[in-house]
Amino acid sequence: MPHTDSASTNTSTNASTNAAPPAPARRALAPDLARGWMLLLIAIANVSAYLWGHDTPLYTTHPPDGSALDRALSALTILFVDARVYPMFAFLFGYGMVQFARSRETRGVPLAAVRGMFWRRHWWLLAFGFVHAALLFAGDILGAYGLAGLALTAALFWRSDRVLKFATWTMFALIAFGAVSLLGLGLLLNALVPADSPALMTGADFGSTADMLNGVQGYGWAMLARIGMWLVSTPATVLSLVVPLCILLGWLAGRHRWLEAAGARIGLGAVAGWGILVSTVAAAPTALLYLGLLPALEPVAWATMLLNQLAGAAGGVGYAALFGVIGLRLQYRAGAVSRAVAAVGKRSLSIYLLQSVVFAPLLAAWGFGLGSRVNTAAAFGIALGAWLLSLILAVILERRGARGPAEVLLRRLTYARLDEPAAPLPAAPPAPSAARTAGDTPSTR
């Protein structure tokens, strides 16, 4: 039995609590709808990382060249998309973990088996992330989710709400302290660096990340660069605490079925409004800098990255809440578009990997090399096309009742023979007859 404290409301998995509303009669629409739409935003956010050969500043992945339309689209992406999508998926990742544990508990799967499935699932996610980065995309996030899942599940998953809230507030405080400290360091260095050496602060002499990862002609050398980046960025993403923070928030929300039942104490609408507002206001200086309207910020723009990530976490949870509101309203009357988008969300792992299968060969220098010849508007068109392709494929799979191929593989690697209810106890022997109780024995004749 895992350790729980006196505040726990469940002596087994603690995946559900006394305060949780009754489970809905059918699969909740909101989480799948959220994943489906956010995969479109992930495509838009990630495709810019393949635009090599442009004079892209260190603080963003969006090239500043191109037409007014290109720059406007990039500024809107900075305002509403960048730094939001992965925190939101971390939140939904945590939410899904609680749904998974609750469903197994309901079916009578032993707690040890659930722990084993979590352990295997997160190790395999880490492996999927490594392969994804090595073959196609160094900006992979699966590895960070797997690594965070391994650490957090072992330490906190079966603890009480009180412990999770304490851990959440502690992480928030550490991130806020780090963000303020990094900003202070940036301001100090900016004051100390000679005025005639601006490149030291802006990173203008270092080249863009897109050039380093996707501007390499040889596939083998590009693979080595991607692996090196992944090995550094995956633990760094977890240690920045933004992804773990959002996973913990997802656990708390999942325990109370926050996205599945109306009437929660903390309203979905309020979280959606405030979360999106905070993240947009925090991203506004970077968007203005990108448009050339706030040049004084450029020397310290790198120092605002952690602050933007923290605000992005608020925006990510805000987007999840927004789709929760929409999902609750459409739960029993979803139209064809909503059902199609939800079908994408049900296969989010496969669709996420499919995007890299489309982007990398088309845009990287080792493939067709279009990343150096297209600007933001065309790249966003490619992202939209990839998402629409995934929409069609997801609808076909949904009509056939089939999961995505990556989901099928992960289930086989994760579950093995663990996802089975505990064997029933043997039936008690029949009570002895009255005669036998009195001392009679069976006839031996």
Mean pLDDT for back-to-back runs of 10 residues, the chain (445 residues): 38 44 62 91 94 86 90 95 92 94 89 92 96 95 96 94 96 94 86 60 60 88 94 95 96 90 75 94 92 85 87 94 87 86 95 97 95 94 97 96 94 77 56 44 40
Q: Which of 156, 36, 169 is nearest to 101 (CA)?
A: 156
CA 220 – CA 338 distance, rounded (Å): 41
Q: How many residues does the chain have?
A: 445
Please give the pLDDT value at position 195: 56
Looking at residue 369, its amino acid is: G
Tokens of 113: 């088996």
Q: Which of 261, 327, 328, 322 is nearest to 24 (CA)?
A: 261
Tokens of 184: 């202070």
Looking at residue 364, its amino acid is: A
52 contacts 211 by C-beta, under 8 angstroms: yes
Please give the pLDDT value at position 14: 52
Please give the pLDDT value at position 268: 87
Tokens of 56: 């892209």
Q: Residue 245, Cβ neighbours under 10 Å: how many?
A: 27
Q: Which of 365, 56, 53, 371 is nearest to 211 (CA)?
A: 53
Q: Which of 122, 136, 40 is nearest to 351 (CA)?
A: 40
Please give the pLDDT value at position 11: 36
Its pTM stands at 0.85
* 113 Cβ neighbours under 8 A, 6+ residues apart: 104, 418, 419, 420
Please give the pLDDT value at position 68: 93
CA 254 – CA 164 distance, rounded (Å): 12
Between the two ends of the chain, the Cα-to-Cα distance in Å is: 53
Please give the pLDDT value at position 1: 40
CA 275 – CA 325 distance, rounded (Å): 14
